[in-house]
Amino acid sequence: MARILLTGATGLIGGAVLHMALGRDEDVTWVCLVRCASIEQGRQRVAARLERFTDPFTAQRLARKVEIVPGDFTRADHDMDPRLDECTHVLHLAADTSWWGGVGVFRTNHDGTLALARRAQAMARLERFLHVGTAMICGADAPSLVDETAYPADGARHIVGYTQSKAATEISLAEQFPDLPIVVARPSIVVGHSTLGAAPSSSILWVLRAADALRMLPCSPESCVDIVPADWVAETLVSLLTKPDLKHDLYHLSAGAAGRTRWADVIAAFEAAEPSDGVRSFRQFDLDRDSSLLRKRFAEVFGLDDASKRAMLRATRAYYAFCSLDLTFANERLIEEGFAQAPSLASYLPICLANSAEIVEQFSDDLEMFAPAPASPASSPDLPMAAIA
């Protein structure tokens, strides 16, 4: 019987994994390593995440199927809980996704993952360790079509410490744990859910809606953005985790050249879902040169009267920087392996918009990511719960 250790169960993709997997009648035990004071507290944290995918009663029922191990993946090599010893698979999703977390982000994502890998070495029945990184480890100077084999690269210029920490983690895992059956999955930009829309999370969706409201883009409408829904990512991760034979040990979980979305397609999808004048004209601007113009327009549309809106402006600038890169992540390996192509954003954007709250309210799902870094991030490896993906 498969026994799967999951980190990051209380995050978006972790919740999508559990919602999908626990609804099936399979001979699998899901073991969730959760930061909590007790098993019941941990179960309620998992149930709270599942409530974003289903009704409260079903969420509680599904959470009862999970085996909770109170703990911290960043200290897993000191965790002698015998329930971890018999795990046959590890799905490592947990991470600090803070953009400006400094040393703390690196210690959690890099050092913490190595601690989990050391603990995995004691799992005698281990068949696969699936580490979930990010396709953006390619950095800011990558070609428009990014291939898996070219990265991580020593010369990559990272916009944020988060992607740098993920790149370093992949290098260290390969160098220090050649004996572990490690497979790396790199999702591209995860937005929404193909059937539940914005209900599970509004992360990054608010950025697309903000861009639509601002009618401003830092790039050409013909430039591309590689977007995939959370449920497709969850389904693909579980398949990568459990498929007996894989041709490679590294995969992009992305829309790829065949499924990438142009900004023009995003604009057209917004116009179809929320008709305006039929044109929906956007102003193209330079993010560095025209920063004051963006601030002025943001103040007109959303206001800058409180701290959350000012944080939202900072976050908008940060995401715009990524948008201007015009990157697509090659996914031929995934398709050749027999996995389905991801649904296009245009196909499920109407569902996302149908159950969306106000844009500023939706930003709250990403607020912790853009909180200012603490004065001394190296003083403690601990993270706020909301920072764990």
CATH classification at residue 338: 3.40.50.720
Indicate left, alpha or beta for 190 from its phi (over 0: left) and psi (-120 to 50: alpha): beta
**Predicted confidence (pLDDT) per residue in 195-209, tens digit:** 999 999 999 999 999
For 219-235, b where at least 16 C-beta lie within 10 A, e where not — what string?
Answer: beeebbbbbbbbbbbbb
Task: Give a yes or no: residue 48 inside a domain.
Answer: yes
- Residue at 338: amino acid letter: G
- Residue 310 and residue 374: Cα distance in Å, rounded? 18
Longest CA–CA separation in the chain, Å: 63
Rounded mean pLDDT of 244-272?
95
Task: Give a yes or no: residue 13 inside a domain.
Answer: yes
Rounded mean pLDDT of 170-185?
98
State the total domains in the chain.
1
- Looking at the chain, the number of H-run helices and the number of E-run strands are 15, 15
Residue with tokens 């994994």: 17
Task: Give a yes or no: residue 18 inside a domain.
Answer: yes
- When pLDDT is cut at 50, 70 and 90, the band that residue 382 belongs to is very low
Task: Give a yes or no: residue 216 inside a domain.
Answer: no
Does residue 383 surpass a pLDDT of 60? no
- When pLDDT is cut at 50, 70 and 90, the band that residue 376 belongs to is very low
Does residue 122 surpass a pLDDT of 70? yes
**Predicted confidence (pLDDT) per residue in 300-340, tens digit:** 999 999 999 999 999 999 999 998 999 999 999 999 999 99
Task: Give a yes or no: residue 199 inside a domain.
Answer: yes
Does residue 231 surpass a pLDDT of 50? yes
Task: Give a yes or no: residue 78 inside a domain.
Answer: yes
Residue span of the structural domain in which 26 resides: 2-203+225-259+328-343
Does residue 389 surpass a pLDDT of 70? no
pLDDT of residue 384: 29
Task: Give a yes or no: residue 42 inside a domain.
Answer: yes
